[in-house]
């Protein structure tokens, strides 16, 4: 028997917020099949293992961001093909939302490239949230850092989820971003939670981080007072012109391990396959679903990068016997 099998933490279905780095590291070190067995058991205790929640992401305002996130083509500091644009009008957003709903999505996410929106920016976004909600879709936005007054405005508009990723561990964070601190991100998440908006928060695999950094990212998420209701796990999309354009590839098994550990640490959260699916084989995505991923971005484009064709995803679901979640998990 592999040594770590007997000393990795015993798992049960109660939610924990006191994980140690050692415990999380031991999960990452489990034999692959043992880790997936544990993750699948946790998954089945909380979700239908053959259903996946579908979210569609629309870029409602691109480019011109003053931040220096080393992975992001929307930064004004990098020479990429992204052009700065104003916020889309309501008709354009509702047209995209209707198409997403027709294709099976239950959540519609809207992203805008701001460091921190001004109140006049929220004046443009709030009608979009209200309009999408009227279509019967869950709403999510990612707009950058927010203060308490801004999160209250979004809550009053009926926003369901706010996305604000931690990206990586506190220790590695400074290697990727210098224009805002880790604490800035945690403060925004606290403001979101205080406004009773659901939290969507995860990270990126493939930034050059170590396994310990991945463990510490997931530990930070799992040890929040409440687990994020949605946990997107992104595979870095290497974009020409960004500092991480030549970053090394991540072994597929290492990505699956990250999904599995996230599922074990946060049993009741939606764990989402996010950016990077275009570079994944069907076999890799199937392993991710087995490891506990039960949400994904659905649609042919993310903020500025490509995503698998809807028809290809539907064919994959058919082969795997997976259906789209209709009744959302409470």
25, 38, 107, 109: the active-site residue: 109
65, 185, 257, 263: the active-site residue: 65
25, 38, 140, 277: the active-site residue: 140
* Among 179, 92, 86, 82, CA closest to 131: 92
Q: Is 272 a catalytic residue?
A: yes
Q: Is 288 a catalytic residue?
A: no
72, 180, 214, 288: the active-site residue: 72
Q: Is 200 a catalytic residue?
A: yes
Q: Is 72 a catalytic residue?
A: yes
* Among 119, 156, 126, CA closest to 141: 126
Rounded Cα gap, residues 268 and 43, in angstroms: 8
Q: Is 140 a catalytic residue?
A: yes
Rounded Cα gap, residues 27 and 38, in angstroms: 10
25, 272, 277, 288: the active-site residue: 272
200, 214, 219, 277: the active-site residue: 200
CA dihedral 61, 233, 292, 231 (to 10 degrees): -60
Give the largest CA-CA distance in the chain.
61
Are 232 and 269 in contact by the 8 Å Cβ rule? The answer is: no
Are 79 and 323 in contact by the 8 Å Cβ rule? The answer is: no
69, 107, 180, 263: the active-site residue: 69
Residue 82 token pair: 């992204």
Q: Is 201 a catalytic residue?
A: no
Positions marked catalytic: 65, 69, 72, 109, 140, 200, 272
């Amino acid at each position: 028997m592999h040594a770590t099998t007997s000393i990795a933490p015993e798992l049960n279905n109660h939610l924990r917020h006191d994980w140690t780095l050692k415990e999380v590291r031991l999960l990452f070190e489990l034999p692959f099949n043992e880790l997936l067995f544990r993750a699948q058991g946790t998954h089945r205790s909380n979700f239908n293992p053959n259903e996946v929640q579908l979210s569609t992401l629309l870029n409602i305002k691109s480019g011109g961001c003053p931040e220096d996130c080393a992975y992001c083509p929307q930064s004004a500091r990098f020479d990429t093909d992204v052009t700065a644009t104003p916020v889309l009008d309501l008709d354009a957003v509702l047209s995209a939302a209707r198409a997403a709903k027709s294709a099976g999505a239950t959540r519609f996410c809207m992203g805008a490239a701001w460091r921190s929106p001004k109140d006049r920016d929220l004046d443009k976004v709030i009608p979009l949230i209200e309009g999408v909600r009227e279509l019967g879709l869950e709403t999510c936005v990612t707009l950058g850092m927010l203060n308490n007054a801004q999160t209250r405005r979004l809550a009053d508009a009926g926003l369901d989820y706010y996305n604000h990723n931690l990206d990586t561990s506190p220790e590695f964070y400074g290697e990727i971003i210098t224009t805002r601190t880790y604490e800035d991100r945690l403060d925004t998440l606290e403001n979101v939670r205080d406004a009773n908006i659901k939290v969507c928060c995860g990270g990126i695999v493939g930034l050059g981080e170590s396994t310990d950094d991945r463990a510490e990212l997931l530990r930070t998420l799992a040890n929040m007072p409440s687990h994020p209701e949605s946990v997107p796990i992104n595979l870095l999309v290497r974009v020409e012109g960004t500092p991480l354009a030549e970053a090394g590839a991540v072994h597929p098994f290492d990505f699956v391990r990250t999904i599995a550990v996230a599922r074990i640490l946060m049993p009741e959260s939606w764990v989402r396959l996010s950016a990077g699916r275009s570079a994944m084989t069907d076999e890799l995505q199937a392993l991710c679903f087995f490891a506990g991923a039960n949400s994904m971005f659905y649609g042919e484009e993310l903020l500025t990068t490509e995503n698998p064709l809807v028809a290809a995803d539907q064919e994959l679901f058919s082969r795997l016997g997976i259906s789209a979640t209709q009744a959302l998990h409470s």
